[in-house]
Chains A and B, each alone.
Chain A
């Protein structure tokens, strides 16, 4: 028999005290755009941006479409998430440098990659260091398909007229980097990232959109990479002391990657006027008038964590009869953990909840709604209302206007 308290983990989410409007868009991209059009619409009705929050279960799958949709609607998003530093240019640069220094011989692709990530010589900010992708491409074409030592590459390019002088200077720098000991690694990579901060970062800013999203990401990444390098020297000292570890630039690159993929603290952009975008666990405790819960589709929300224990054993611990009662149950073995997060997402809203989902994958496969939606009362937006929300002369749907009229701070136009 299943004990009653175990069944309590399978209860359904109750409707919140505030109205819930449901938006079903065809694709994830449409869904993100509808959410951001709604934010823009609320802003037009004088709802302050701090009175709106967007919540998703997992930003990994929603950060990109939401960021893109936000840009289109002139909304500046503040993503409360860990910065995936390995996907940023400053990190890619130091990683590429380690790879170009790894091994006795190196091919031309590996050799030139740091230039593509804006390598610049240490302590040079004379502004002539913006090698265009075209120049890099031309160099790549001119060089032979061979693997050679870095010194041999220097000899080769010094005799070749068609190679840009800056490429020669870079290769000379590379050939002169000493063997990887902990102190050298920290110094060399530190200089590389500082040079990036001086000349690579301004370049990002120059080509960025007015909201400076890329610049912000790039700048946080520089800070993170600096910190990483500060820790790297000690880590390398321990790491190299182990007999099975080879003291090489390849090892430096691998260790830097492991360090960068650790779950760090949260970051947020520093805009005062940004739209807060949270993962569901992080909205706990807040009180915000309008909460947009996005990604309410089956298999996305809820999901269970991956565990190394056998499900049968987990079930014994969850039920906790006999000696199993001494063992601590983990509710992320069940969907109740995600239901906690969803319930607190609903509860955070003091005026209204907008639940969004999409109905098809990009391959036109159907996507079903999250089971969480089945137990709460929602008002569905019609296709026409959704299109009007997205059109250039935006119209807020009646169900949203009802929310506005219950919100003392917002102004309605009726």
Chain B
């Protein structure tokens, strides 16, 4: 890896609470090799959502003959599961096949008690995969947060006709599907839903779940991302609000400069993990 990988670092300031606690980087993730040392307990979580990226870091550590025990390799869903465990909250989660089956059920017009789903133009009632895609894309952008749904409507309203109406309609469809899924099961709807539940636990317990699970951790490094989804932003926001852990987000070279400027606004959404459904 060439020298240019040592990237620029931007601490972000969003009021006193956040000053210095989140740092956004472009590149520079492999400085972790300098932090590798022997330790009796891990002190840093390496949050790499792509599974192979975790393996790649482990390979780099191995090639450099460095110990890895100071690091804990995780993705956000596994961290969330551990957090929920502390409170004995079930982390039973639907997978995509379950959801597709349930969406099909939702669309079954013969079942009288099934709620109405707004179908956007061009989407067939028999196309659960498209509907699931609409639900997940909306969730990625908004995390179903009430403030962001308002922002969605306001932004859609500034678009020319008929794009404004189509965009509003997608929002309705996504909410109908999510509501319909929630009505059918006690399980968590998806891994993103799991992360959201852990996000709320972090703030409502004022960080107690974190301390119980990760007492030795003082640094959370997020890496390998080309975007920061709303669910991830809210999760990180809650970690910062509820703990004193230092958060470092390492973006990548082509999107990093853009994201460094664009992402701080995502942390301005208050009460992370809040959703319109409850």
- Set A262, A323, A339, A350: member contacting B97, Cβ < 8 A: A262
Bound-complex Cα distance A347 to B252 (A): 11
A242-B101, A326-B148 known; A308 vs B163 contact (CB < 8 Å): no
Interface residues of A in 315-360 (CB under 8 A from B): 316-318, 320, 322-332, 336-337, 339-344, 347-348, 350
Rounded to whole angstroms, the CA-CA distance of A8 and B150 in the bound complex is 28
A80 in the interface (beta carbon within 8 A): yes
Inter-chain contact B167/A309, CB cutoff 8 Å: yes
Question: Per DSSP, are chain B's interface residues mostly helix, strand or loop, or mixed?
Answer: helix
**Is the CB–CB distance between B266 and A326 below 8 Å?**
yes
Does A5 touch B at the CB level, under 8 Å? yes
Tell me, in angstroms, the Cα distance from A292 to B104 when the chains sit together. Answer: 44
Q: In the complex, what distance in Å separates the CA atom of A344 from the CA atom of B223?
A: 13
The distance from the CB of A406 to the nearest CB of chain B, in whole angstroms, is 13
Given contacts A5-B262, A285-B29, A286-B56, contact A313 B155 (CB under 8 A): yes
Fill in one digit per residue for B250-278: 1 if any A CB lies within 8 Å of its CB, else 0. 00111101110110011011000000000
Write the nearest CB–CB distance from A89 to chain B, whole angstroms: 23
Question: Which of chain A's residues have a CB closer than 8 A to the CB of B95?
Answer: 262
On chain A, the residues within 8 Å of B170 by CB distance are 308-309
A285 touches B57 (CB 8 A): yes
C-alpha gap A13/B253 in the complex (Å): 9
Name the B residues within 8 Å of A235 (CB-CB): 97-98
Q: Pick the contact of A285 from B224, B253, B258 — CB < 8 Å?
A: B224
Q: Is the CB of A327 within 8 A of B56?
A: no
- Does chain A have a CB within 8 A of B214? no
The listed residue (B97, B141, B254) touching A340 by CB distance below 8 A is B254
Does A159 reach chain B (CB closer than 8 Å)?
Answer: no
Interface flags for A274-297 (1: CB within 8 Å of B; 0: not) read 000010011111110000000000
Cβ-neighbour of A308 out of B3, B111, B137, B142 (below 8 A): B137
One of A18, A282, A285, A326 near B151 (C-beta < 8 A): A326
Let me know if B52 and A282 touch, CB within 8 A.
yes
Whether B110 pairs with A244 at a CB distance below 8 angstroms is: yes
Q: How far is the CA of A112 from the CA of B230 in the complex (A)?
A: 52
- The reply to whether A313 and B151 form a contact with Cβ atoms under 8 Å apart is no
Min CB distance, B196 to chain A, in Å?
A: 14
Asked if A364 is an interface residue, CB under 8 A from chain B, the answer is no
Taken together as a complex, chains A and B put the C-alpha atoms of A310 and B171 apart, in Å, by 12
- Given A285-B60, A326-B269, A328-B142, also A312-B254 (CB < 8 A): no
Question: B interface, how many residues as a size bin?
Answer: 35 or more
In Å, the complex CA distance between A230 and B15 comes to 52
Partner of A327, one of B1, B29, B152: B152
CB-CB < 8 A to B51: which residues of A? 265-266
Task: Take A308-B130, A327-B155, A343-B254 as given contacts and tell me if A287 and B60 are in contact as well, using a CB distance cutoff of 8 Å.
Answer: yes
- In the bound assembly, the distance between CA atoms of A235 and B3 in angstroms comes to 50
Q: Which residue of B lies closest to A324 (CB)?
A: B155
B147 neighbours in A (Cβ, 8 Å): 326
When each residue 152-173 of chain A gets 1 if its CB lies under 8 Å from chain B and 0 otherwise, what string results?
A: 0000000000000000000000
- Which residue from B98, B111, B224 sits with its C-beta under 8 Å from A244? B111
- How far is A255 from B97 in the complex, measured between Cα atoms in Å? 9
Name which of A282, A307, A323 has the most chain B CB atoms within 10 A of its CB: A323
Asked whether any CB of chain A lies closer than 8 Å to the CB of B66, the reply is no
B265 in complex: contacting residue of A287, A320, A336, CB < 8 Å? A320
12 cross-chain CB contacts under 8 A: A235-B98, A242-B104, A285-B53, A286-B56, A286-B60, A312-B159, A313-B159, A318-B262, A323-B151, A328-B142, A330-B141, A341-B226
Q: A308-B130, A309-B137 are in contact. List 10 more A-B contacts (CB 8 A).
A: A235-B98, A244-B105, A278-B52, A286-B60, A287-B1, A323-B154, A323-B155, A331-B258, A336-B254, A337-B254
**A residues within 8 Å of B by Cβ?**
5-6, 8-9, 11, 13, 16-18, 80, 235, 238-239, 242-244, 255, 258-259, 262, 265-266, 278, 281-287, 307-310, 312-313, 316-318, 320, 322-332, 336-337, 339-344, 347-348, 350
